[in-house]
């Protein structure tokens, strides 16, 4: 079993930056691909970013590309999502998730077996 706990959300103004953290326990973290997803009210959960088991393979949704950076530290069993130039449309609950089959390099929520409880990010003036 894998447990994921997100933190770092909050209320920020447009243009601000925010760093979300996800602490992972319960399984060999270095074997997992990790992803960030978000879900706004009334919308489906959508992919934000993904990082492979090492920290060398990453990809991003077009909506956040150039404004966000996903990173991880396997020794600390933590993954981060650094977001800059935040916009009101970035408002959502952000979820950390783990994919036990890294080779598929998936952005599909159903491929991620383990999920955190989510952290709210609100971008508003």
- Angle CA(49)–CA(58)–CA(113) in degrees, nearest 5? 55
Q: What is the SS3 assignment for 107?
A: coil
The CA distances from residue 121 to 4, 18, 69, 80, 96, in Å, are 17, 9, 16, 14, 13
| pLDDT, tens digit (0-9, with 9 covering 90-100), for 99-122 | 998 888 899 999 999 999 999 999
| pLDDT, tens digit (0-9, with 9 covering 90-100), for 75-84 | 999 999 999 9
| pLDDT, tens digit (0-9, with 9 covering 90-100), for 19-77 | 999 999 987 899 999 999 999 999 999 999 999 998 778 999 999 999 999 999 999 99
Give the model's confidence band at 1: pLDDT under 50 very low, under 70 low, under 90 confident, else very high. Answer: confident
DSSP 69-95: EEEEETTTTEEEEEE-S--GGG-EEEE
50-85 in b/e burial notation, b at 16+ Cβ within 10 A?
Answer: bbbbeeeeeebbeebeeebbbebebeebbbbbebee
| Main-chain dihedrals φ then ψ at residue 29, nearest 5 degrees | -60, -35
Question: What Rg value do the Cα atoms of the chain yield, rounded?
Answer: 13
The per-residue pLDDT of the chain, averaged, comes to 95
């Amino acid at each position: 079993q894998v447990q994921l706990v997100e933190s770092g959300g909050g209320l920020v103004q447009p243009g601000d930056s925010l760093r979300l953290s996800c602490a992972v326990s319960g399984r060999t973290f270095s074997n997992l691909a990790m992803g960030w997803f978000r879900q706004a009210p009334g919308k489906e959960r959508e992919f934000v970013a993904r990082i492979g088991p090492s920290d060398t393979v990453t990809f991003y949704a077009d909506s956040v590309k150039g404004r966000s950076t996903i990173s991880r530290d396997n020794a600390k069993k933590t993954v981060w999502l650094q977001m800059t130039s935040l916009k009101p449309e970035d408002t959502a609950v952000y979820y950390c998730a783990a994919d036990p089959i890294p080779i598929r390099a998936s952005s599909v929520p159903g491929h991620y077996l383990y999920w955190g409880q989510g952290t709210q990010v609100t971008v508003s003036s």
